[in-house]
Chains A and B, each alone.
Chain A
Amino acid sequence: MTIDPWAMAEQNPARREALAYNARSFAGDVWFRFSKKPTALTGMTLVVLMALFAVFGPMLTPYDYDKQSLSMGNIPPYFAAVSAPEPDRFFYVTANMKVIETDGQGRLIRQLTKKTDDFAASRVSFEYNGALVYLDYGVNPPVMLDPDGRPLTAGKRLWNRSYLLGTDHLGRDILTRLMYGTRISLTIAFVAAAVNMVIGTLYGGISGFLGGRTDAIMMRVVDIISTIPLTLYVILIKVTLSSGLSGIIIALSSVYWVDMARVVRGQTLSLREQEFVLAARTIGTSRRAILVRHLIPNAMGPILVTMMMLIPSAIFMEAFMSFIGIGIAPPMASLGTMCNDAVEALRANPYQLFLPALMVCLIMFAFNFVGDGLRDALDPKLRK
């Protein structure tokens, strides 16, 4: 049996419907590839969670970043307490020999007032409900003694209910400070990235689009700036500015746009030779409109990737400067200053370092993952 090659194909409207599909937009395509990558999705979820933590967290906590309660300093989130003479009351002895009374759930009630300090017996007495309890610091770790001088042994480990993540050396709530610190890091991330994007895109776009001598001069400037060690200059510029958040943002924005400018220039150079630019020029589009309406939108992929890669370094730079003491001024909490404060008492209170350090790492991870995912999604050719 032969098939007639010229016969009309069978027309079936129902089948045609089934075969047709909606063309995916570029953004949809990018999202499809992005969402196929578990690390990228994890990163994005983390960023969203941290943004919520930083924005809404401070509204939910009863504390403030600078509210000190010196009697409640250096209390960890999880501690071993001994039973007090009263029922359902416990004592927690802090690293610097203060005695805190807590209830059975781990809510801190008060700091016991010290009555006498007997150096010879290495024993401190505290007033407790009309009687005296003692702290014997001749042994290590120190032991609490009841009013008759017998050691209090029974006890349990409690989670700190008053300050969920403990307090720092000035009795400030670490959870609250973490929220404000995260807020600063994220603000720096987004603002510095946006400012650098605008400066870099315009600079690189103009340089690449005009070409010729203008381009040569503008790129020489970029070459010179990029050989200057940028960290030094961020620090120097920061020193000359105010010690607030804006100082850091200006310092970061004034030097980090160089990479962006290079990327955009490269893109513009290759794009401006393409036919659609010629077409735009033929219908009399102004040069400014060609740059802003045609060239830059087409270079958006690499621009976004460069911007995402810039975010972690901006966050790192802020934490770095705050850590060496020239970033955000106290009492404002930045993750870097929190780490710095904790280093001095690292041996006694390691949790004060680990919490902000963990937060910095999480932020860095999240943005790196999102950046990598976005790079792979926007340009699968770049994938290694």
Chain B
Amino acid sequence: MRRYLTKRLGMMLVTLLLITLLTFILMHVVPGGPFTNDKQIPESVLSALRKKYKLDEPLAVQYLRYLGGLARFDFGPSLKYTGKSVNDFIQSGFPFSARLGALTLVFVLLASIPMGVVSALRSGRWQDALLMGAATLGVTIPSFVIATGLLYIFAFRLGWLPTFGVAKWQGYVLPVAALGGYSISFLARLTRSSLLEVMGQDYIRTARAKGLRETRVIIRHALPNALIPVVTVLGPTVANLLTGSFVIEKIFAIPGMGAHFVNSITQRDYTTIMGTTVFYATFLISMVFIVDLFYCLLDPRIRLE
């Protein structure tokens, strides 16, 4: 277990280092510097700007300086908004994104697992066909289509829910539904197929043979094993929810990090793009790592690998 852990941690650090390097390189090969403007800026101003943001140093030095900053959780200043740092954006945006993501994750788990269980237990009947039909729709329709469709129906036509903003709790309903659509469908399909497989195992027959009630067989014996594949995809699911939130935050005008990220890209605010990417990547990789640890604890067979 410990060897596995150290190996995974080492891999994670290498990945993070590569991510920062890759982001750094990508941001420096971009055509047109951060100060490229419609108006011609005098050369003296440009060089002063470069000096201020330390862009006149050799690239390697800049990279090391950036890494040093990261180690102290300092993502550097924003190039477009004077006086604002990337940390300000993250601090103001992340709570919104995290709340949206956490709510969606809870909603996804609460909706998808029962969906999968019901359709596995009623497999081949109309309940199964209905739920799996809905799940097929959910995995194929892009999130922005779901989001705008929900917006049109529930906010514009019916007027039940607000069109944007998250000042009231109602504001979260549509974003959560739209963001979770894909993951719910995906996890429901996974739960169904994995539960179907488990239900055919010998130990389920044994549990039934010793006279346990069917609900107990399912809850105590089948589900814990059937949910292992679901746990493994939780990491990618979290990643999916976070990146999906770019478009959801844009549509519902939620001032989260996704919105900042998209804005910083269109404004070519390099330090913000870099900072947000590195932050996102670190967050996601840590999530995947935690999920994997959890998975290790759940299924002792993994450790042997």
Residues of A within 8 A of B (CB): 223-224, 227-229, 231-233, 235-237, 239-240, 312, 316, 319-320, 323-326, 336, 339, 342-343, 346-347, 350, 353, 357, 360-361, 364-365, 368, 384
Contact = CB atoms under 8 A, between A and B. Distances in A.
Given A223-B11, A236-B273, A239-B265, A343 B148 contact: yes
A324 B262 CA distance: 7
B248 to A, nearest CB: 10
B239 interface: yes
Given A228-B281, A236-B277, A339 B148 contact: yes
Nearest to A325: B266
A383 to B, nearest CB: 11
Contact of A368 (B22, B140, B243, B281): B140
B30 A360 contact: no
B148 A232 contact: no
Nearest to A315: B142
B144 interface: yes
Contacts of B27: 236, 240
A312 B285 CA distance: 25
Contacts of A357: 145, 148-149
5 contacts: A228-B15, A229-B284, A239-B30, A239-B268, A346-B156
B250 A232 contact: no
A232 B281 contact: yes
Given A236-B23, A353-B148, 8 more contacts: A228-B15, A229-B281, A233-B22, A239-B265, A323-B247, A324-B250, A326-B262, A336-B144
Contact of B15 (A224, A239, A347): A224
A41 B150 CA distance: 30
A325 B281 contact: no
B281 A312 contact: no
A240 B285 contact: no
Contacts of B140: 312, 361, 364-365, 368
A51 to B, nearest CB: 19
Interface of B: 11-12, 14-15, 18-19, 22-23, 26-27, 29-31, 136, 139-145, 148-149, 151-152, 156, 193, 196, 239, 242-243, 246-247, 250-251, 262, 265-266, 268, 273, 277, 280-281, 284-285, 288
A384 B144 contact: no
A342 B193 CA distance: 39
Contacts of B15: 224, 227-228
B26 A319 contact: no
B148 A346 contact: yes
A360 B156 contact: no
Contacts of B273: 236, 239
A384 B136 CA distance: 14
Contacts, number: 99
Contacts of B29: 240
A227 B288 CA distance: 8
A319 B144 contact: yes
Given A224-B18, A324-B246, A325-B266, A240 B26 contact: yes
Nearest to B270: A239
Interface of A: prevailing SS: helix
Contacts of A324: 246-247, 250, 262
B144 A320 contact: yes
A360 B247 CA distance: 16
Contact of B141 (A228, A231, A364): A364
Contacts of B136: 368
A-B pairs, top 9 by smallest CB distance, nearest first, are A231-B243, A357-B145, A364-B140, A240-B30, A229-B284, A323-B144, A324-B262, A384-B193, A224-B15
Contacts of A232: 243, 277, 280-281
Contacts of A325: 262, 266
Contact of B247 (A236, A320, A368): A320
Contacts of B141: 361, 364
Nearest to B144: A323
B97 to A, nearest CB: 14
A353 B149 CA distance: 9
A235 B141 CA distance: 21
A133 B280 CA distance: 59
B42 to A, nearest CB: 27
Between A223, A312, A324, A357, the greatest number of chain B beta carbons within 10 A of the residue's beta carbon is seen for: A324
Nearest to B238: A229
A339 B281 contact: no
Nearest to B151: A346
Contacts of A239: 26, 30, 265, 268, 273
Contacts of B265: 235, 239, 326
Contacts of A319: 142, 144
A235 B276 CA distance: 12
A222 to B, nearest CB: 12
B183 to A, nearest CB: 14
A350 B145 CA distance: 12
Nearest to A324: B262
Contacts of A368: 136, 139-140
